[in-house]
């Protein structure tokens, strides 16, 4: 299973989890089975490259993306690509993976991203 974490830096497990999932300089990918750690640059359009971060991760064979939080459009893209998203990560990559393994992170779904809008929406109708 491969986990991807948006990060700042190129120190592998010691990288800090980036706050803005699309605008981080690097993504750190950890293979839980082989323990291999790979740091890839964010080459998405946010950073002057091409494509969206979820597409980069799909190419790398990522199964799970762990981050602090993200927007609705990103969650939709991950869902379409079959990548599970977990939110609430902080600290280092190692911290984020430990939290994931201990089931401390929340699985993101469309409801999380647009929870407030859905609430307002109900009031209108």
Mean pLDDT of 102-116: 76
Q: What residues contact residue 96 under an 8 Å CB cut-off, 6+ apart?
A: 5, 17, 66, 89, 90, 105
pTM: 0.86
Where in the chain are the domains? 2-124
Distance CA 112, CA 98 (A): 22
Asked if residue 60 has pLDDT above 50, the reply is yes
Q: pLDDT value at position 5?
A: 97
Contact criterion met (CB below 8 Å) for 89 and 105: yes
Q: pLDDT value at position 2?
A: 98
Asked if residue 8 has pLDDT above 60, the reply is yes
Q: pLDDT value at position 113?
A: 56
Task: Assign domain 2-124 to a CATH class.
Answer: alpha beta
């Amino acid at each position: 299973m491969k986990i991807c974490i948006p990060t700042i830096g190129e120190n592998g497990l010691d990288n800090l989890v980036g706050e803005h999932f699309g605008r981080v300089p690097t993504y750190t990918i950890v293979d839980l089975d082989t323990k291999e750690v790979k740091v890839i640059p964010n080459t998405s359009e946010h950073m002057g490259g091409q494509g969206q971060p979820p597409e980069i991760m799909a190419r790398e064979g990522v199964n799970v993306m762990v981050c602090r939080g993200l927007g609705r459009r990103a969650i939709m893209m991950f869902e379409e690509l079959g990548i599970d998203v977990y939110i609430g990560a902080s600290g280092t990559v190692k911290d984020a993976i430990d939290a994931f393994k201990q089931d401390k992170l929340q699985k993101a779904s469309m409801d999380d991203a647009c929870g407030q809008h859905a609430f307002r929406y109900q009031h209108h109708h």
